[in-house]
Structure 1
Amino acid sequence: MSDVAPLCPECSSEHAYEMGALMVCPMCGHEWAPEDVAAEPEGDVSRVVKDAVGNLLADGDSVVVTTSIKVKGSPAGIKAGTKVRGIRLIDPVNGHDIDCKVDGFGAMLLKSSLVKKA
């Protein structure tokens, strides 16, 4: 192993350390094998995001919320059947991989497993 520890592939933290055959990030708790990261191709690799029923999602699509979602700070959450227009796919943040604006709620992150393509 080299003297310089690699950056964490999840959060890009520089505080990763070696634990046996694995590398561990104390910031996000991610564990990985250094060989696996070296074998992954670099560059722009498009990520596939699917909705609750398996349809592929893309930037700019319209989706419909499939189940009611509780929203912190709101007495009523987002109801099932609410249409959301112009989604933007992002790298997952705590499992949320859609950035959008929901009418009546504003900008928020959604999980692709809770929506279906309209």
Structure 2
Amino acid sequence: MITGRQIAAARALLGLTAADLARQVELPLATVEEMEARATACPDDRSEVEVLRTALEKAGITFIDERVTSAAGGPGVRLSVPLSTSHDTDVSGTVQYPEMAKDGPFGAGG
């Protein structure tokens, strides 16, 4: 489950307005605004939630469930590598993250 605040935070991380996101996922702006205004979890049975979640994840958002990464942590979002981005691999198939390699040994972070 994701909350409206997570949707709004994810959108902000991507630099999108609510209108941009609504246009991208082909939903009415009022629907996006209504969902973002929810402080509680959005109902999973609404197809709009799945459409928004899928689009945001493809753009590079990772949704963090409550208390998954920290005993005291609430729900959140993280900007990650977009799902549509492919990673370069070496001949052994090890994923090489350039941002990690610059500060560490070759293969760091992979």
TM-score scaled to structure 1, two decimals? 0.23
Larger helix fraction of residues? 2
**Larger RCO, structures 1/2 (Cα 8 Å, 6+ apart):** 2
Q: Which has the larger radius of gyration?
A: 1
